[in-house]
Each structure stands twice: as C-alpha cells, then as structure tokens.
Structure 1
Amino acid sequence: MSVVSKKTQFLDSISFVGGFYTDSAYLQMAPNSNHGRILFIDAYDSFSENIAALFCQILPVEVTMIHIDTQIEELLDKPADCTQNALALYLQNFDAVVLGPGPGNPEATSDVGLFSEIWRLPSLDVVPVLGICLGFQSLCLAYGASIRRMLEPCHGHAKGIKHCDEDIFTNVGEVIATNYNSLEVELGDKHSLAEDSGPTSSSPSVESGSSSPSTLCTEFYPSQPEFEPSLTCPKLRPLAWDGFGTSMSVKHVELPFWGLQFHPESCKSNAACQSIIKNWWNTSMHWSTRTRRATNLSRSKLLSGHVWSRPLTPIHIIAEPCDIAENHRLTSTLQEELQALTASSAATVEFHTMMLPKSAGQVLELCRSLSQNDQAILESTRKGRFSIYAVPGPSEFRMEYNLETSTCTLNLTDQDKMQWKMKLLHVLDEIQGLVVRRRVKAGHDSVPFFGGFIGYFSYEVGLERLGVKQELRSASEVLPDINLLWVERSIVIDHVSNEAHIQSIRKDDSTWIAEMVDKLNRLGCPESPIALRSARLQALLTAAKIRLPDEEIYKREIQACQDYLHSGDSYELCLTTGAQISLPTHPENSWLLYHNLRHHNPVPFSAFLRLGRTTILSSSPEQFLSWDRSSGSINMIPMKGTVAKSPSMNLALAKEILASPKESAENLMIADLIRHDLYSTVGWNASVEVIKLCEVVEHETVYQLVSHIRAMPSIPPTLSADERQQEIMRYGHKALRQTLPPGSMTGAPKKRSCEILRRLEQRRRGVYSGVLGYLDVGGGGAFSVCIRTAVSNADEDRDGRQTWRVGAGGAITVLSDVDAEWEEMKTKLESVLRAFRPDG
C-alpha cells in the first residue's frame, strides 16, 4: 500500500536556500491519520530520495525529510517557558525515525548532526529508529562499537548477507544487497558469527558473471546461534553479517533501535530487502502499541495542535522581487522585456515538410551562410535521428547569466544590452516561465524541437544548486554560466525518413517558409574551402600548439581522490583535467575545426554553438536528460566506463572488460544517484525505473558502459490537455534543475564529491561538465553532457592567436589503477585533440 507524498504537492511554491528547500516549508505537511509517519534525517547523501521512495511505496506511511543540521527549535514555535527537549517534542509527531546514509565518519559531529541527539533522548521520548549505513554506524558507535577503515571499501557492490532468520530478518530468505561503505563496525571479540571469519576487506560480492550467492556464502540464514553479548557492546545484538563476519545489521537489546550497513533501496538489492523494511515497520508498530502509546500523549491530541502552535499545512512563500540594475529602462522587469521580445511568437507552429533534396551537410552550410552572429546547431552525426539547425530571425536575442556577479543580461540583435541583478533561482524561473507562456501546438508530431531556447548551462550552475562554495573566476574563465539563444525559425532534419521540416513559431511567417523551401530546392554542392582535407585546414592545424595536462599532477590527484574514498567522504570521484590549444586567429577557424571534429568523432550529440564571445565544438556521446512532450517521461542515460577502440579491441572483448567489478560499480553508483535526483523531481510515489543497467554501446572511437533510468511523473488524468502540457513542461524544467551537475561528472554523494573535486582541481570547469541542448516551446527538452568538447572564449585571444580548451577525466574508485586512469583520460582527450592535429 502506498500514499501520495505531500512533498510533491507544494514543491514549487516553497523557497530555496543555497539550492535546497528550506526546512520551514519542506517539513510542514498535513497529517493523514490513516497512515504512519516517518521522519527521515538526511545526511546530505545522494541516495536518500531512493530510500524515502522505497518506504512510501511499500509501507502505509508518509515520510518527512529534514537534514542533519536542521534547527529543530525553528520548526516548533514552542512557548517560551517550554523546558522539554525540542527534538523529543518534535518526534511526538512521528511513529518512527530513519537515519540515512551519508559521507564522512560517525565520529565527526558535523557528519551526523542530529543522529547523535537521537541516541541521547530520555527513555520516555524514545521512538523506533532504523539507521542505514552512516546511521547504522552512528548507532553502533553510540553503544560501544568502534569504527575502522576497511582495507578495501565496498562501493557499489552487491553482496550476499548472512542472517539468523530472526527479528526483522524473519522469513526474508536470501538477502543480496548493495553496499556503499568505506568504514566498518567492530563490535568486539564476539561480533563475528561467520564460520570462516577472515579479512573484512575481502567480503564476497555479487557481480555480473560471478558465482551465485549460494556459492559465495555457505549459509545465508543458518540456525540462530546462542547470543553472547560483547564485552564492549553489551547493548547490541548482531542480526546479520557478510561472509567474513563483518557486521551488516544490529538491534539494541532493550530499545527499538535497528541498523543496516547495506542499502536496501539500491537497484541491485533484491526483494528480500523490502521484506526486511516491512518487518522493521511491523515490529516498530508493535513496540509502539505496547510501550510508547501507553505512556505518551495520544496521537489525536498531538496532531490537534497541542504541541504545535501552528497548523501542519503547506506554506506558500513569495520570492522577493528581482533587484533591477541601473540601465536605460529602469522601470522594466526581465519578465516584461522577455514578453515584449517574444510578442511575435504564435500559438501554433507553421511548418512545411519536404523530402531532403540534398545532403544534411549542405543544409548545414545553408544555415551557416544565413547567420551573421550567433549560431546554434545540434546535430546527430552517428546513429541519432534528428539534426536541428537554428535560422536567425528578426526577434532573435540571447540570454546570459553570470554567477559571480549575479547578473542576467539580454543581448539584442542590434548589440543593445539590458542587465538585471538577480538570483539564479529567479533566472531559472524566468526561463521556465517564458517557455511555458509561449508554448505552442500543431507542429509535426515527430519533430522534437519547434522553437524556444538553445544553449548551455555550466557545471557551476549545478554547484550553485547544491550549495557548493564558488570561488572567483580568473580572466580565462569569464564565460557566462547560462547562455541561451531564442530560436523562432529552424530546420529539422529527420535522418530516418530523410525529411526536412522547415518551421517557424512566428506569426504569419509563411513567406519565409516558402523562401526557405525554395533555397533548399536550389542547393548546390558545398564549396571547396569546407572540404575536410582542405589546404586551409591543414595549414591551420600545422600551426597549432597543444599543451597537455601534467601527468605527475593528475596522478597525484588520483591518489588524493582515493584517500577521500578510503576515509568515507565519497564513493566515487570524477576527476578531470584539460588540454589547451593555441591556433592562429581566423574567422573560419571554428567552422573548419567543427567539420574536422565531426569527421573524426561522429556521435549522436554533436553541436556547434557560437553564442556571443563563446564558441563550442562538441562531439558528446552522452545524453544527459530528455523529456517527452507527449508522455511526460523523463529519461537519463549516464555513461560510466570507457574502453578505447583499436584493431585488437572488439565489442566482445570490450564487454568482457566493462563487466569487471570496477566498471559495473561505477555505473551502478551513478544509476542509483540519478534515481535519487529523479525522485526529487517527480515525487516518492511516482515511477522511477532502471530500463537498462550496464549495457555496452559502441562509438566511433570508444566502447562505453551505459545505463538508462526513466521517470514518469504522476499527472492527474482529470487535467485538460493544456493543463497536462503545462505539468509536463514544469516537471521537465524541474528535472533539469534537480539533476545538475551531471552525476556522471561528479561522483557520489554528489554534494560532498563536488566539494572535494573543487579543492583538488582548483579551477572552474565552465562549459565542460555542464550540459547543452534545447528547451522546446512544444513541451519537450533534451540536453547532452558537455564532454568530448572544445570551448573557445574570444576574450582570451592574444597576439593573433586563439585559445581552445578541452576537458577530460574519469571516475576514480578504490579499485582504480593510477596508470590505467591516466591512460583512460588521455583516450577521451585524444578523441577531441585529433581534430586539432594535422593529418599524417
């Protein structure tokens, strides 16, 4: 049985602080007496939403989530003369507490926060508690256990769990569960119940192609041994362990406290884990019936306002107005200007579909010839279906945002600029608001893009959302963090049907469409200067100077990453570096280089963007996020694990290599992280499923391991078609906010990992590791991850030479080999650099 989480009902109406929902709004949910209430205390982990969703979907409960550093007093508005413990008072509103996983060490107060206060509650204020991973370790530490580092942390590996078939493990059968832990609990001399106790760092795991669970552990649930309390932990009873005696679950012998070292919510944990959760809930409610409800205030009295001085209902917080900077129109707001600039937009798409008369490359050349300034091209050069070419129009404008100065700029076609000082959240609201207000219909059903914004969001936009501290940028890092071109006219090529769709969202634009159809029918052969082997290109590349990253520094950073992984601060870190290329400055450079790049590295998500002073050449193989205008489905397809193609490396061998525990764990960690991000978007009772896990795909230069995660928002069937479209767009834009930066470029847990990477890399990534794509006024959207991408900033041009920057990196795990990681990074880097090297 499941209930609709109250969280999703007011998610858009509450305020943000540092990118997170403020507790004062997030926590106040209307109680439902027909269901239990669980308080989830989140330690800023990247799997917490998955756990909350699991509880909501398999138990008759509502879940309220707070953070470990939440100030409980601020939630109560309690009377001034109230002497009762604030946490105890707050917990009277809940039937049980879950202490979640998270980075760090339970011995560090800042890593566990409220966890420690739970164990100090007076006996009369105790509620049932389940600690998971870090929460489990905190429980054990509080009652005498010691915490130590594992020699080989277990990150993203599913293992067989032995148990006594008692208490919350009664009748659950074989347990296979994913672990994410660098630290382990030592209960004392009597803690190991495995017959063949050995090094805890070598616990067996269940991986692709490995032995079955029953062969890894001789007994999954042996008959219950006689319990002998540990001298150091007399209050804790072991319930489960792995094949080498490492503690996997405990129960307090007197109080209703349980702990699980493993992650029951992971997509590789089996159904037995759900049975454990159900058993815990039933056992907890039985305890409450016998004990707590007989000694505490009745639930009806608690929820009537006796404890709370204000009703537990959603709060609607009005965002403060934008602070408008001085400019030539002081009275105008950004929203008013956007409305005026798009006044020519129509409610329907006007389009003409024709068979493609020439090659897509010639259409590309035509669109390029029509553009004088900004240019946006999203191409599929291999295995993808559509290519999108923006055609400049009379109402074209570009929207920029700079995080450092909190400045939003509108760049108009006549070089006029308008600026506003405003917060990132407000800018994102304005972008979403414009696309929703200008939504259109009646375009060709199969075309993914009718019109709207095309551009990018930097990696740092995601850091801002997470609340990661940003440093000031150097002179070489002055690119806008958001850079979007408004597109009203476009040509979309369908490579499957070989059709060209000429379309416009401007009012009464049939004349332009007819002119463009005529131009396409009269296309000639491409001009010789654009030929891939042209003399100009080779002369340019011969003059190129390439500066590669420093091998010693990168390897030292890899080792530093592994130190953080062993300490428990992260499970996986996507460390990056970059190369720099210097070329003679010439107006044709970027176009020649883009053609060379798409020739050497054809991929599903090629892109050429010239947005003001910024030029981007992308040959990304990775889709970040897309949502469908019809079904509303939200799809993410992360890539983790790369093998370079060579004469000796075929698909079969690549599959064998990418099936290794290291590569599988990389992919699983990001798949679980993405599930978390998507649950935070669509709500805990919506559908988030793993369509594919760890599938090998072939690209021009590499084989890569990918997964596919899909979310389906719960949209009421009673909505009108127009209301349904607005909901789909709202969820899509929310997904973009909630999932930045891409998990495949950060690691897990995302926030702590980003903080670590910031310290190690000592630079802004900018466009690299960000995302580029489109926000469609038809209702959809799609973005690729900015990898295999070269970026140029015209402000860096010096002495007749132009600078290009190319980033590359890889996921560092505890199983990473330093030399192998260096070689993998170079493989990724070379897939772009070969476009900057002369032939031969």
Structure 2
Amino acid sequence: MHRPHLLFLDAYDSFSNNIINLLQQDLNATVQVIKIDDKRFVASDDACFHAFLARFDAVVAGPGPGDPRNPHDLGLIGKLWHLPEGICVPVLGICLGFQSLALAFGGTAGRLHQPRHGLVTEVSHQGQSLFKDIDVLMATQYHSLHAKLGHNVDKASPELWKVTSDCPDILPLAWDLSDDQNGPILMGIRHLTKPFFGVQYHPESICTSSAGARIIHNWWSEALAWTIDRAAILRKIETSHPVIDVDSVDTNSESGEDSASTSSSLFDAVNPTIRDTTATTPAVTRNSSRMGRPTASTSVSWRCVDTSLDGIDVALLLRNLQDTDQQAIMLESGSKSGQPVRPETGRFSIVGCANDAQSIRYSTGNHIITSDLSGTKTSYTGSMADVWSSVESFMAANKATDGSIDIPFWGGLVGFVSYEAGLETIDVAQSTNNDRSDVWFVFVSRSIVVDHVEKKVYIQSLEKSDNHWFGRVEEVLQKLMKKSDTRSEPHDNSNPVLPSVAAPKQEEYMSKVKTCQYHIRAGDSYELCLTDQSMVLYGDSSQPESFELYQRLRTFNPAPFGAYLRLEEENEQRKNGVTILSSSPERFLSWSRAGKCQFRPIKGTVEKKHGLTRKEAEALLNVDKERAENLMIVDLIRHDLHGVVGSGNVKVEKLMAVEEYQTVFQLVSVIEGQLQEGSRHTGIDVLAASLPPGSMTGAPKKRSCELLTEIEGKPRGIYSGVLGYFDVGGGGDFSVVIRTAFRWDDEDVWRIGAGGAVTVLSSPQAEFEEMDLKRQSCLPLFGHRRDPAK
C-alpha cells in the first residue's frame, strides 16, 4: 500500500507534533514540516511554493493562535485555497486551517460568546465524508473564534446540513449543538468540487475519542481517491508547465527537523520530473548530532549504610558535613511523621559536596557563558544551544556505569535553568538586560543519597582513592544514628523579627487577569499562566541565616522536591551568588538511565481547608475550568515529548488525578515517553525542547509567553524555571521552581513568585486568591503566619 507523503504547515501551535504523530501512526505517513511564515516561500513568487507543493500527496494546515481574518496569522495557509487547477492538492484544515478554508469561500468568522478551550463535547454529524462509519464522537475544542457559513438558525435544524447562498461551495458536515450560549458551532466542512476538508476540533487531543481521530483515515481515503481520479489531468500539466529546480531549495524545517529518505509521492508517479528525496519528523530545536558517543570514562565508588527505622535527617547531615553559608547542594524529598510526603516522586534526597566544583553559568542578559567544565575557566559569547552542547559533551565525557542501580544519582551536574533561559529556547524577546546567571550548574563529584523508603544511605565519590571522604561521612552518620531522634530540632519562631513584604496589589493583579482574558477571547492563546512576585526585605541586622529559613520552610511545607542551593562564584571583587529555598510539589521532567522520560504537570488547585475531604476535593476539581487547564498542559507536553522521542513513543499514564499535599489538593497528570535505543537523542534533548515549563506558560507556548512578558512587565528569574540534576549514569530529574524563595547576593531582597492559569472561565477575584494562597505557602519561613482567611 502506498505510504502517504504529507506536508504539515505549522502555525506555531503547541499541539502540532501530536497531529504529526497521528498522521504518522494512523496513516503510516512521512511528514515534512514547515512554518507558515517560511521565508523561502513567503518572500518568493508563488511558482516556487507551487513547485514545492508538487512533492506531496496532500497538505495538513494546522491550528495556531490568531485570527483567520489576519493574513499574517495565516501565512502560507492562505495560499492553499486558490491554487491553479493543475497544482491543486488535497488539504485538511484543523482549527485555524479550518476557519481559513471557510473564509476563503464566502464564510465569515467571529468571536464566540464564550470561548471553548480544553472542553470536550459531543459532535453531531450525518456520517458523510470525513465522518463516514463514525458513531458517537467526543471531541476536544481549543478555539475562541468560529466560522460561519450563513446559516440563520440558533438551534438544531435540518437547515444546518445544507449549503447556503453565501457559501454555495461549502458543505457543512458536523456541528456542536451542545452549547446554548453560543448556539450551533460549525465543526466540520468540505468543498463540493475541490479536495478541501476541515474540522474545528482537535483530533489529536488526548481527550478526543478514537472516533474523533478516525476522520484522519476518512480524509486520506477521499484525498487518495481524488488524486487517482486526477492522474490523467496531472500528466497533462507536466507536459504544459516548465520544470522548476526545487531540489535547489533547502527542504529541512527551520526548527531543526531531521532528514531521511522516503518513498516518492503519488504526484511523482504521474510527474517524475519533480521528485522529493527528503521527509521530516518533529525534532528538537537544536543541532544534536552525536553519533558514536564515548564509552564510560568515570568510575563510581560507593558504600551503603543501613540506618535506624527513623532514617537520617538530610538537613542535619548537610549541617554536620559543611558550612551551609558556603556553596552547598541539597535536593530533599520532604517527609511528614517520618515518612516521605509522596514516595513515588519523593523517595530520595541528595546532599552534594560542591566546594571548588567545576561549573557552567550563562546569562540571557549579556549572552556570556562562563565555564570551567573543560578544565580551564573561559568566558565567551554564546546561546542556550551552546550551553546544552557544553553540558552534553561534559556528561558524555564523564559517563559512568558502575554505581548502585538502586539509586537515581551517582554524581553529576546540579543546578537550575531560569524562566528567561527557557524563553530564549523558543525565541521570545525578553526585557531583562542584567548579567545575573540564568543557567548555573556545578559538578558534584562527592554525594550522599538517602533512600527514605528503604532507610539506607549511599555514600558516593567520583574521585580516585577517596577514603577520607567515606570515613568522614560514616563518622557523621554514626554520630547522628546514636541520637534517639535524628530529625532537625524545631526552631523557636514565636517572636521572630518580621521583615517587610511587598505583595502584589489585588486590583492590579485582577486587571492583568482581565487583560489575559481579552487576549484569550481574541484567539491569541488558550490559557495564560499569569504570575507576580512578592519581595521580602530584612533590615541589615535582622537577616536570618538562609539555612535556618530553609529549615522553617521544610517544616511548614514539606514537599517531594525540596531544595537548598547555595551557589557562589569565585570572585573577590563583587558578591555574585544566589541562594534558593524550594518546596516544590511538581516534577517537571525526569528520565531514567534507560531513557524513560516522565512529566508530572500540576494544574488545578483546591486549598485544604479544615474538614475538606478528598472526595469533596475531587468534586471541586472535576469541573470544566480545572480539567480544561490540566488537559491543555497535557496536550502541550505530549507535543514537546513527541518532538524528541518520536511518534508512537508517548503515553499518558495518569490523566487528571487528584493528589494530596500539605496545604492543597491538586490535579496531576503523568505523561511518559521512551527514548529509543540507538537514538542520537538523550534526556537533555527532551529538557531543551520542553522549556519553559508548559504549566507555567499556557498554550500555544510561544505566543502565550510573548503575551505574558508584556502583561507581567518584569522578569520572573529563577521562579518558573527548573531545578535539578544531570546524573553521570545518564538519568536526570528536574522540578518546576514554584513554592520557592530566592535571593541574589547583590541585593537584600528575597523573591517569591506565585500565579495560576487564566482561562475565559476564570474569576479575576478567584485567580488573585489562588495566587495569594500559593504565595503564602512560603511566608512562614520568614516568620509570617498564613492568613487563616485564605
């Protein structure tokens, strides 16, 4: 059977790779991807684009932000509907592409009374064309605008299934009749004489039923039949049109997709003069050609110590091993009553010895990379792509295979990537121009890993003949285990010196929520994760020790991804360090040494007020707004993951389940992907392709981040970035930097970020209260009690 050769026009949507996966999996298609503003075709005459189209059996015009009435938002999609007779190819338009098709043949577009983002409804149809042999169809919608063909009815009617005088060439195929507020919403169309089809809903969404995705098969069947019927006409076109040398055009996508040989298209069968030799699939946004990686060159020395039933308190362990005001590393899985608060994600804690460690730093403000990973300290101008390449080269050169298979970290790079560094990876302009580090990793060659489930402690070193380190740690462990209770003693915080706190203003924040909703209604975004910062300022004489502050935080808000990072630069001329105190509940990304990747986005929050049961929390979270927020991020993460691990290798293991934390109930999903054996991609590629975290941006990611940068008006910094490690064994684990306070040495201010996802269903008052609830989870570490009314 012929393997379809398809072109996908990417309108900068955050779900595009999921559509490509659907095409590859369901049709066994080869798919080439270009952006809708591809400069090779936008700036040239149409003949070049027409010749390029001749390579393909059909085209899919994808979804994206914007308005179909705006040519800039459509780009090349707008060129599809009026191709010359001999160049015409079958097209499937999805969402934005669907709306563009309707407008091209007499239809109109307008805003819905109530946008439909992340909502799953039943789609009504009559079993024709795209919907042949389809029964009940549940579909996910992501749109603020809708296309209209001129039907003058506001409820279900036989007239809905007929062509109109306004659009005599467009046949309606499907409608959403479930929305009383918006009335009938057009969901599917086809052109009566040309091979143009479209659907408003998203067939690729994880919550669209298998029946909803089947339209891909039906579309290809109709496209194939049309192509065969037109074969004779295409032969005539070949003899009457000059041949354009399209092989001189670089057909690789600008986003860095891979090239591979593929079968010729049906068009080639009838027009052998123009032939395609490349096909692309989604890939990471940087060059990551690393064939023939070096074998393991680092050896791990380790010892395992069984501890008492109560285990070892890692904060005490760190305090007894080194001065915590100097460079210090601790990634802690929080505990409550001696047990991990969430064993499946918070089983292990890591203490790293990082004094005089090799490091790499990068600032998006001045684009300077400072690194001594190669053994010599150098500073040079670079980019995030250069940072990732340096990290990957260093980790490959320090590859190890002989550590304990029972623990996830044997040593490696530990640090953070800021939100602004993530913005650079998706080409979003930033307002910051300072030289503070947006990436900072230090190499941990000596480490201690505590297994809180098995009550074991692993002492490790990547140094040669390091008996002194092992002896020192064992001595500290023996001293701690002799105590009847190894947990940190509570701090007397009854009369603390309270700092001043500059919090977000309610009216200002609510106004920003409304601005977000304006852009969502205009079709620019599906949801926007709005954030703001609180500033905590101490007087010079009342500044508590940072590690004491962390100990308060871990007491009030234990979390599976706690962290105390004290990072310093060796520079006697200026103070240039940062301290991070984190109690994050959210894993961003982890990957195992075998290449299994996992995301755990959190979207949907209910405060654990006195007496609120889990069942009641589930009922509060099982509403359209909360589920829509979570669903959009799940589909976005699937897109990011598909772009690296490839089609067929992504699964949603848990969808919108309620999890309980110290102060809140939250809606959590789990998305997993498998890096293929022999692939040239690693978990570092997945991380690079997924920043900034989708749960902190909204979707589509690029346009949403552009809007948020404008609306928020200030950099987020470390907040909303990621924090974690690259393991020398090949794994990695990063949390989202939320429920976190951080402070730079050159200022006396602790910063606490907080926010929430804004949708059209949001209440500005409720959004402010949610942000304030999250903000207050960090205030107890500064002596402020949480407002009992919140």
Q: TM-score, normalised by structure 1?
A: 0.82
Which residue does 2:599 correspond to in 1?
A: 636
SS in 2 for 1:113: helix
SS in 1 for 2:221: helix
Distance 1:644 1:74, change over 3 A: closer
Distance in structure 1 (CA, Å) of the matches to 2:43 and 2:406: 49
Distance 1:238 1:529, change over 3 A: closer
Distance 1:74 1:45, change over 3 A: closer
Pairing 1:458–2:418 present: yes
Q: CA deviation at 1:119?
A: 1.4
SS in 2 for 1:569: coil
Give deviations 1:381-413, integer Å, cap 9, x for gaps. 1222100000246x6222211112111113799
Which residue does 2:645 correspond to in 1?
A: 682
- Equivalent of 1:446 in 392, 395, 406: 406
- Listed as ranges, the matches of 1:656-671 within 5 Å are 656-671=619-634
Percent of aligned positions that are identical: 39
Which residue does 1:307 correspond to in 2?
A: 274
Q: CA deviation at 1:84?
A: 7.0
- Equivalent of 1:624 in 582, 588, 596: 588
Which residue does 1:342 correspond to in 2?
A: none
Pairing 1:834–2:780 present: yes
- The answer on whether the counterparts of 1:670 and 1:748 sit within 8 Å (CA) in structure 2 is yes
- Equivalent of 2:673 in 687, 694, 711: 711
Distance 1:576 1:567, change over 3 A: same
Distance in structure 1 (CA, Å) of the matches to 2:759 and 2:160: 39
Distance 1:491 1:254, change over 3 A: same
Distance in structure 1 (CA, Å) of the matches to 2:192 and 2:487: 80
Q: CA deviation at 1:648?
A: 3.4
- The answer on whether the counterparts of 1:191 and 1:230 sit within 8 Å (CA) in structure 2 is no
Which residue does 2:330 correspond to in 1?
A: 377
Distance in structure 1 (CA, Å) of the matches to 2:425 and 2:585: 25
Which residue does 1:565 correspond to in 2?
A: 520
SS in 2 for 1:757: helix
Give deviations 1:262-316, integer Å, cap 9, x for gaps. 00010110111232110110110000000146424495894998436x9648999
Distance in structure 1 (CA, Å) of the matches to 2:749 and 2:437: 17
SS in 2 for 1:234: coil
Distance 1:389 1:515, change over 3 A: same
- Equivalent of 2:104 in 132, 142, 146: 142
Distance 1:619 1:156, change over 3 A: same
SS in 2 for 1:795: coil
Distance 1:110 1:371, change over 3 A: farther
Pairing 1:597–2:553 present: yes
Q: CA deviation at 1:120?
A: 2.3
Aligned length: 725
| 1:750 alignment partner AA | K
Which residue does 2:767 correspond to in 1?
A: 821
Q: CA deviation at 1:509?
A: 2.2
| 1:672 alignment partner AA | D
Which residue does 1:775 correspond to in 2?
A: 726
Q: CA deviation at 1:35?
A: 1.5
Give deviations 1:534-560, integer Å, cap 9, x for gaps. 3xx556x42311111111110000000
- Equivalent of 2:175 in 241, 244, 252: 241
Identify the range of structure 1 (690-699 vs 268-277) with the bigger mean alpha-carbon deviation: 268-277
Distance 1:654 1:305, change over 3 A: same
- Listed as ranges, the matches of 1:411-430 within 5 Å are 418-430=378-390
- The answer on whether the counterparts of 1:543 and 1:584 sit within 8 Å (CA) in structure 2 is no
Q: CA deviation at 1:823?
A: 0.8
Distance in structure 1 (CA, Å) of the matches to 2:265 and 2:18: 28
Distance 1:708 1:227, change over 3 A: closer
Distance 1:84 1:824, change over 3 A: closer
Which residue does 2:301 correspond to in 1?
A: 350
Distance in structure 1 (CA, Å) of the matches to 2:280 and 2:630: 37
Which residue does 2:478 correspond to in 1?
A: 521
Distance 1:711 1:413, change over 3 A: closer
Which residue does 1:496 correspond to in 2?
A: 453
- The answer on whether the counterparts of 2:57 and 2:266 sit within 8 Å (CA) in structure 1 is no
Q: TM-score, normalised by structure 2?
A: 0.87
Distance 1:84 1:111, change over 3 A: closer
Distance 1:285 1:225, change over 3 A: farther
| 1:389 alignment partner AA | V
- Listed as ranges, the matches of 1:757-772 within 5 Å are 757-772=708-723
Give deviations 1:804-828, integer Å, cap 9, x for gaps. 0000000000000111111111110
Distance 1:504 1:386, change over 3 A: same
Which residue does 1:216 correspond to in 2?
A: none
Distance in structure 2 (CA, Å) of the matches to 1:84 and 1:105: 23
Which residue does 2:658 correspond to in 1?
A: 696
Distance in structure 2 (CA, Å) of the matches to 1:60 and 1:569: 32
Distance in structure 1 (CA, Å) of the matches to 2:438 and 2:771: 25
- Listed as ranges, the matches of 1:569-588 within 5 Å are 569-585=524-540
Give deviations 1:441-474, integer Å, cap 9, x for gaps. 1211111100110110001111111110122336
Distance 1:166 1:490, change over 3 A: same
Distance 1:526 1:774, change over 3 A: farther
Give deviations 1:89-132, integer Å, cap 9, x for gaps. 10110000000000010011111100111112112110000000
Which residue does 1:404 correspond to in 2?
A: 365
Distance 1:412 1:264, change over 3 A: closer
Q: Structure 2, unaligned stretches of length 5 or more?
A: 178-182, 239-263, 288-293, 335-340, 569-576
Distance in structure 2 (CA, Å) of the matches to 1:228 and 1:313: 39
- The answer on whether the counterparts of 2:445 and 2:461 sit within 8 Å (CA) in structure 1 is yes
Distance in structure 2 (CA, Å) of the matches to 1:634 and 1:616: 26
Distance 1:293 1:152, change over 3 A: farther
Which residue does 1:481 correspond to in 2?
A: 438
SS in 2 for 1:542: coil
Distance in structure 1 (CA, Å) of the matches to 2:299 and 2:486: 40
Pairing 1:65–2:33 present: yes
- The answer on whether the counterparts of 1:398 and 1:411 sit within 8 Å (CA) in structure 2 is yes
Distance in structure 2 (CA, Å) of the matches to 1:636 and 1:237: 42
Which residue does 1:810 correspond to in 2?
A: 756
Identify the range of structure 1 (566-575 vs 649-658) with the bigger mean alpha-carbon deviation: 649-658
Q: CA deviation at 1:507?
A: 2.2
Which residue does 2:257 correspond to in 1?
A: none
